[in-house]
A and B are shown apart, each in its own frame.
Chain A
Amino acid sequence: MSALTLTLKLRLDQRVDMSPLVCQKLMGLDPSDIAALELQNGKAKVRVDSLFDISGSDTQKIVIKNSYEKLDFIGKELETGEISVIGDVGAYLGLGMKSGLIKVSGNTGLFTACEMKKGLIEIDGNTGDFLGGALPGNKMGMKGGTVLVKGNAGDRVGDHMRRGNILIEGNAGDYCGSRMTAGTIAVMGQTGKHVGYAMRRGTLLLWNGPQLPANFNDCGAHTLAFLPILFKSFRSLNSAFSEPAAMFNRVRRYAGDMSEMGRGEILVKI
């Protein structure tokens, strides 16, 4: 049984809500049933087969080809299976994802992995603002799972993040780890301004020294025993994070945000 492959044949001007096309909702459906499903497109509804050529029938392995930046909500609340996207995607990739795997070969938009609970998202390109964050007005962002970004991330990475790992091989924008409650954000590249803004708990693991805000206090250089275990957990990833050369356990520890509860930490590789 080959993967259910949806090849985009038409780039509409309005955004498309792809949330009906997740593995658990397609389980047991024939390709003809899937073709007849309707997707919200701006104010209108469009049939799946009017947008995509459909081939294959394994609904637990979905491939979306020719994707572009207006396909939103791909993998929303995904509970099982795997979604591979060839191309760019829009906002809310993996929103509230509960399990499974999403791979994107291109870039992703705003609120990627927003309020994600479990599973793995791999992005080969860049991602927009609020990676792993909370929906506007909500108090809890990502609650579990791992997001790997091989390119750069926008502003407000891990805003209100509660648990899980965000791994960025490139750079992160401003306010990285803002209002973070817990969890781990690792950035191999540079970080922008106001890193850890209003951070309560959690860990920012940085390869390069940030523009440190005044409300973070230097706790000195340390060898931390949990870091080898953390790096070991990345070994299964197809990423620079899994390479033995990336591993270290010697860091300078900064505690903050002291204007908040101050139990967060920025660990900078030394």
Chain B
Amino acid sequence: MIINGVTIDETFAEAFPMKATRAIITAQNEKWAMISAQAMTGFATSVIACGCEAGIERVLDPSETPDGRPGVSVMIFAMGGKGLAKQLETRAGQCVLTSPTSALFAGIDGGTRIALGKNLRYFGDGFQVSKLISGKRYWRIPVMDGEFLTEATTGQVDAVGGGNFLVLAQSQPQALAACEAAIEEMRKIPNVIMPFPGGVVRSGSKVGSKYKTLGASTNDAFCPTLKGMTKTDLSPEIESVMEIVIDGLTKEDIDKAMRVGIQAACDLGAENGIKRISAGNYGGKLGPFHFHLQEIMA
């Protein structure tokens, strides 16, 4: 398959089941909601070492938030429910509770309930106040700038993590430009996050390493500087490869995000140095979710 001169490999991305949750951060203005959201989703690019994968889903209009203030929706993904709950609580406590004027609300009403502000209330040292409003429990925690309002719980649902595609380009700037275009379109899709910096990862990994202590190491088959040293997957004109990883609530959400992302990269076309779109997989033996690139773009 070729789109605008860009070859779409006959391969698939392999993804895994994860647990996910969503939280809504509001603040006095969008600037401070975003600052809090960026802090909460920081150091959360990969479960390999961060404990979770997190990202900003979108900015919310005041009409969409529970307290009518500007807000930001964030999503957190982890391999298990226990780990997810721990990450959510730690990040909420250190990054949202601490952020001026912030409030924190559930972003998923159904699913298994996990603590959002339920345990943060103890920060109130006995001065915290509970309010049950329309069946939802809120905690009002006295803090130095006034009160931190948080919903007690949010929903945890089954999700999919690790959807991905690779952009193979003639030069590094061209690969980055294609990824930036892709991310801009993918951010319009609900229920997905791209957890890496700016949504793009330049250090895609393979499973295993020559060093026994490492579970993952550089994906040498896609490293352009190793073309003459390893069993490469790159043709001579490819000088740079970048990857976009997608976590989503459902396989369909990731499908949609991959479609618009790949299309945006392909729209730049071969004349802008975009040569191939490929994907990372483990031979189909590890992850139950397979995203076949050519099927998605058909």
Contact = CB atoms under 8 A, between A and B. Distances in A.
Given A182-B130, A201-B129, A265-B129, A223 B68 contact: no
Q: Which 4 A-B pairs have the closest CB atoms?
A: A225-B149, A233-B134, A233-B133, A225-B103
A229 B146 contact: no
B146 A222 contact: yes
A265 B128 CA distance: 12
A223 B67 CA distance: 12
A230 interface: yes
A263 B67 contact: no
B146 A226 contact: no
B62 to A, nearest CB: 10
A223 B149 CA distance: 12
B126 to A, nearest CB: 8
Interface in B41-78: 66-69
B164 to A, nearest CB: 39
B140 A224 contact: yes
Interface string A207-228: 0000000000000001111101
Nearest to B131: A226
B107 to A, nearest CB: 15
Interface in A215-265: 222-226, 228-230, 232-233, 263, 265
Contacts of A232: 66, 68
The listed residue with most A CB atoms (<10 A of its CB), out of B68, B69, B126, B138, is B68
Nearest to B134: A233
Interface in B146-191: 146-147, 149
A184 B131 contact: yes
B132 interface: yes
B282 interface: no
B136 to A, nearest CB: 9
B147 A229 contact: no
Contact of B66 (A201, A229, A265): A229
A226 B133 CA distance: 9
Contacts of A203: 129, 131
The listed residue with most B CB atoms (<10 A of its CB), out of A182, A224, A225, A232, is A225
A266 B36 CA distance: 31
The listed residue with most A CB atoms (<10 A of its CB), out of B103, B126, B131, is B131
B127 A263 contact: yes
Contact of B138 (A182, A222, A226, A265): A226
Nearest to B146: A222
B256 to A, nearest CB: 32
Nearest to B26: A225
A230 B147 contact: no
Contact of A223 (B66, B133, B134, B146): B146
26 contacts: A163-B132, A182-B130, A184-B131, A201-B129, A203-B131, A222-B146, A223-B146, A224-B140, A224-B147, A225-B103, A225-B140, A226-B131, A226-B133, A226-B149, A229-B67, A229-B138, A229-B149, A230-B131, A230-B133, A232-B66, A232-B68, A233-B134, A263-B126, A263-B127, A263-B129, A265-B129
Nearest to A183: B132
Contacts of A263: 126-127, 129
Contacts of B132: 144, 163
Contacts of B131: 184, 203, 226, 230
A201 B124 CA distance: 15
B222 to A, nearest CB: 48
Contacts of A226: 131, 133, 138, 140, 147, 149
A149 B132 CA distance: 20
Contacts of B68: 228, 232
Interface in B210-252: none
A158 to B, nearest CB: 15
Contacts of B138: 226, 229
Contacts of B103: 225
A210 B132 CA distance: 25
Contacts of B126: 263
Nearest to A184: B131
A228 B68 CA distance: 8
Contacts of B66: 229, 232
A213 to B, nearest CB: 20
Given A224-B140, A225-B67, 8 more contacts: A144-B132, A225-B69, A226-B133, A226-B149, A229-B67, A229-B149, A263-B126, A263-B127
A182 B129 CA distance: 9
A209 to B, nearest CB: 21
Contact of A229 (B127, B129, B130, B133): B133
B129 A228 contact: no
Contact of A225 (B127, B130, B134, B147): B147
A222 B129 contact: no
A222 B147 contact: yes
Contacts of B147: 222, 224-226
B161 to A, nearest CB: 32
The listed residue with most B CB atoms (<10 A of its CB), out of A184, A226, A263, is A226
Contacts of B129: 201, 203, 263, 265
A144 B126 CA distance: 23
